Amino acid sequence: MARTPFRSRLSGPSFSRLSIALHWLMLALLAAVYACIELREFYPRGSDIREGLKTWHFMLGLSVFLLVWVRLAARALTSRPAPPRGWTEVVAAAVHLALYGLMIVLPILGWALLSAEGDPVPFFGLTLPPLLAPDAARAEQIEDVHVTLATAGYWLVGLHAAAALFHHYVLKDGVLRRMAPGLR
Protein backbone atom coordinates (compact mmCIF):
# COMPACT_ATOMS: atom_id res chain seq x y z
CA MET A 1 0.00 0.00 0.00
CA ALA A 2 1.34 3.44 -0.90
CA ARG A 3 2.08 5.75 1.95
CA THR A 4 0.17 8.98 2.19
CA PRO A 5 2.16 12.15 2.92
CA PHE A 6 0.91 12.01 6.52
CA ARG A 7 1.54 8.31 7.15
CA SER A 8 5.31 8.45 7.25
CA ARG A 9 5.25 11.42 9.63
CA LEU A 10 2.36 10.44 11.89
CA SER A 11 2.40 6.68 12.26
CA GLY A 12 5.58 6.70 14.38
CA PRO A 13 5.47 8.80 17.55
CA SER A 14 2.52 8.49 19.87
CA PHE A 15 1.28 10.24 22.96
CA SER A 16 2.81 9.40 26.34
CA ARG A 17 1.39 6.41 28.20
CA LEU A 18 0.06 8.82 30.82
CA SER A 19 -1.78 10.88 28.20
CA ILE A 20 -3.20 7.75 26.58
CA ALA A 21 -4.35 6.34 29.93
CA LEU A 22 -5.94 9.65 30.92
CA HIS A 23 -7.67 9.97 27.54
CA TRP A 24 -9.38 6.59 27.87
CA LEU A 25 -10.09 7.05 31.58
CA MET A 26 -11.80 10.36 30.80
CA LEU A 27 -13.86 8.66 28.09
CA ALA A 28 -14.95 5.96 30.55
CA LEU A 29 -15.83 8.59 33.16
CA LEU A 30 -17.77 10.71 30.68
CA ALA A 31 -19.68 7.64 29.48
CA ALA A 32 -20.53 6.79 33.09
CA VAL A 33 -21.60 10.38 33.86
CA TYR A 34 -23.92 10.44 30.85
CA ALA A 35 -25.18 6.89 31.51
CA CYS A 36 -26.09 7.67 35.12
CA ILE A 37 -28.15 10.71 34.24
CA GLU A 38 -29.86 9.03 31.28
CA LEU A 39 -30.59 5.72 33.06
CA ARG A 40 -32.23 7.48 36.00
CA GLU A 41 -35.20 8.17 33.73
CA PHE A 42 -36.11 4.47 33.80
CA TYR A 43 -36.84 4.60 37.53
CA PRO A 44 -39.61 6.35 39.45
CA ARG A 45 -38.93 9.71 41.06
CA GLY A 46 -37.75 9.33 44.63
CA SER A 47 -36.72 5.68 44.21
CA ASP A 48 -33.43 4.63 45.77
CA ILE A 49 -31.91 3.58 42.44
CA ARG A 50 -32.87 6.86 40.75
CA GLU A 51 -31.37 8.87 43.61
CA GLY A 52 -28.28 6.66 43.57
CA LEU A 53 -27.78 7.24 39.84
CA LYS A 54 -28.09 10.99 40.37
CA THR A 55 -25.55 10.88 43.20
CA TRP A 56 -23.13 8.90 41.01
CA HIS A 57 -23.71 11.43 38.21
CA PHE A 58 -22.66 14.23 40.57
CA MET A 59 -19.63 12.42 41.99
CA LEU A 60 -18.35 11.17 38.64
CA GLY A 61 -18.89 14.61 37.10
CA LEU A 62 -16.75 16.16 39.83
CA SER A 63 -14.16 13.42 39.21
CA VAL A 64 -14.04 14.55 35.58
CA PHE A 65 -13.43 18.10 36.83
CA LEU A 66 -10.46 16.96 38.93
CA LEU A 67 -8.97 14.68 36.29
CA VAL A 68 -9.22 17.23 33.50
CA TRP A 69 -6.63 19.31 35.39
CA VAL A 70 -4.36 16.27 35.65
CA ARG A 71 -4.90 15.71 31.93
CA LEU A 72 -4.05 19.31 31.10
CA ALA A 73 -0.89 19.11 33.23
CA ALA A 74 0.12 15.87 31.50
CA ARG A 75 -0.55 17.50 28.14
CA ALA A 76 1.70 20.41 29.07
CA LEU A 77 4.48 18.31 30.58
CA THR A 78 4.73 15.38 28.17
CA SER A 79 5.70 15.31 24.53
CA ARG A 80 3.02 15.07 21.87
CA PRO A 81 3.31 14.04 18.26
CA ALA A 82 2.88 16.82 15.73
CA PRO A 83 -0.70 17.17 14.51
CA PRO A 84 -1.51 16.79 10.84
CA ARG A 85 -1.34 20.12 9.01
CA GLY A 86 -4.18 21.83 7.26
CA TRP A 87 -7.87 22.20 7.93
CA THR A 88 -8.01 19.09 10.13
CA GLU A 89 -5.56 20.69 12.58
CA VAL A 90 -7.80 23.74 12.97
CA VAL A 91 -10.95 21.65 13.45
CA ALA A 92 -9.18 19.29 15.87
CA ALA A 93 -7.88 22.20 17.95
CA ALA A 94 -11.36 23.74 18.14
CA VAL A 95 -13.01 20.45 19.14
CA HIS A 96 -10.33 19.72 21.74
CA LEU A 97 -10.69 23.21 23.21
CA ALA A 98 -14.48 22.79 23.37
CA LEU A 99 -14.17 19.34 24.99
CA TYR A 100 -11.73 20.60 27.62
CA GLY A 101 -13.98 23.60 28.23
CA LEU A 102 -16.99 21.36 28.77
CA MET A 103 -15.05 19.07 31.13
CA ILE A 104 -14.35 22.15 33.26
CA VAL A 105 -17.60 24.12 32.92
CA LEU A 106 -20.18 21.31 33.17
CA PRO A 107 -19.07 20.06 36.61
CA ILE A 108 -18.94 23.63 37.92
CA LEU A 109 -22.45 24.22 36.60
CA GLY A 110 -23.61 20.96 38.22
CA TRP A 111 -22.09 22.02 41.54
CA ALA A 112 -23.70 25.46 41.21
CA LEU A 113 -27.03 23.86 40.29
CA LEU A 114 -27.08 21.64 43.38
CA SER A 115 -26.09 24.65 45.48
CA ALA A 116 -28.85 26.84 44.02
CA GLU A 117 -31.36 24.04 44.63
CA GLY A 118 -30.23 23.93 48.27
CA ASP A 119 -29.09 20.31 47.89
CA PRO A 120 -25.91 18.81 49.31
CA VAL A 121 -23.01 18.34 46.89
CA PRO A 122 -21.76 14.77 47.48
CA PHE A 123 -18.26 13.68 46.62
CA PHE A 124 -17.33 10.18 47.76
CA GLY A 125 -18.25 10.60 51.42
CA LEU A 126 -17.62 14.33 51.55
CA THR A 127 -20.14 17.12 51.24
CA LEU A 128 -18.68 20.00 49.27
CA PRO A 129 -19.54 23.57 50.24
CA PRO A 130 -22.21 25.29 48.19
CA LEU A 131 -21.09 27.69 45.46
CA LEU A 132 -24.32 29.70 45.62
CA ALA A 133 -27.12 30.45 48.05
CA PRO A 134 -30.38 28.60 47.36
CA ASP A 135 -32.36 30.35 44.62
CA ALA A 136 -34.97 28.40 42.62
CA ALA A 137 -35.02 30.81 39.66
CA ARG A 138 -31.23 30.75 39.37
CA ALA A 139 -31.24 26.95 39.68
CA GLU A 140 -33.61 26.70 36.72
CA GLN A 141 -31.39 28.95 34.61
CA ILE A 142 -28.26 27.00 35.53
CA GLU A 143 -30.00 23.71 34.76
CA ASP A 144 -31.00 24.97 31.29
CA VAL A 145 -27.38 25.93 30.50
CA HIS A 146 -26.04 22.67 31.99
CA VAL A 147 -28.42 20.53 29.91
CA THR A 148 -27.75 22.51 26.72
CA LEU A 149 -23.97 22.23 27.12
CA ALA A 150 -24.23 18.55 28.05
CA THR A 151 -26.17 17.94 24.82
CA ALA A 152 -23.44 19.77 22.91
CA GLY A 153 -21.00 17.42 24.67
CA TYR A 154 -22.72 14.40 23.11
CA TRP A 155 -22.20 15.92 19.68
CA LEU A 156 -18.60 16.93 20.32
CA VAL A 157 -17.63 13.48 21.62
CA GLY A 158 -19.32 11.97 18.56
CA LEU A 159 -17.52 14.39 16.25
CA HIS A 160 -14.20 13.58 17.95
CA ALA A 161 -14.76 9.82 17.52
CA ALA A 162 -15.90 10.24 13.91
CA ALA A 163 -12.81 12.32 13.15
CA ALA A 164 -10.56 9.62 14.64
CA LEU A 165 -12.24 7.02 12.43
CA PHE A 166 -11.98 9.33 9.41
CA HIS A 167 -8.26 9.70 10.00
CA HIS A 168 -7.85 5.96 10.43
CA TYR A 169 -9.95 4.65 7.56
CA VAL A 170 -9.99 7.47 5.01
CA LEU A 171 -6.81 9.49 5.48
CA LYS A 172 -4.87 6.48 6.81
CA ASP A 173 -2.50 8.88 8.51
CA GLY A 174 -1.87 7.08 11.80
CA VAL A 175 -3.61 9.66 14.00
CA LEU A 176 -5.83 7.09 15.73
CA ARG A 177 -2.94 4.67 16.31
CA ARG A 178 -1.12 7.33 18.33
CA MET A 179 -3.89 7.33 20.96
CA ALA A 180 -5.02 3.69 20.64
CA PRO A 181 -2.11 1.42 21.53
CA GLY A 182 -4.03 -1.72 20.49
CA LEU A 183 -4.02 -0.56 16.85
CA ARG A 184 -0.25 -0.51 16.45
pLDDT band at 182 (very low <50, low <70, confident <90, very high): low
> Interior CA angle at 20 toward 18 and 39, to 5°?
115
Of 17-26, 57-66, 143-152, least confident by mean pLDDT is 17-26
The mean predicted confidence, pLDDT, of the chain is 88
How do residues 61-93 score in pLDDT, each as one tens digit?
999 999 999 999 998 998 777 777 787 788 888
CA pair distance 80, 85, nearest whole angstrom = 14
How do residues 34-51 score in pLDDT, each as one tens digit?
999 999 999 999 999 999
Tell me phi and psi for residue 127, to 5 degrees.
-115, 115
**Distance from the first to the final alpha carbon of the chain:** 16
- pLDDT for residue 117: 98
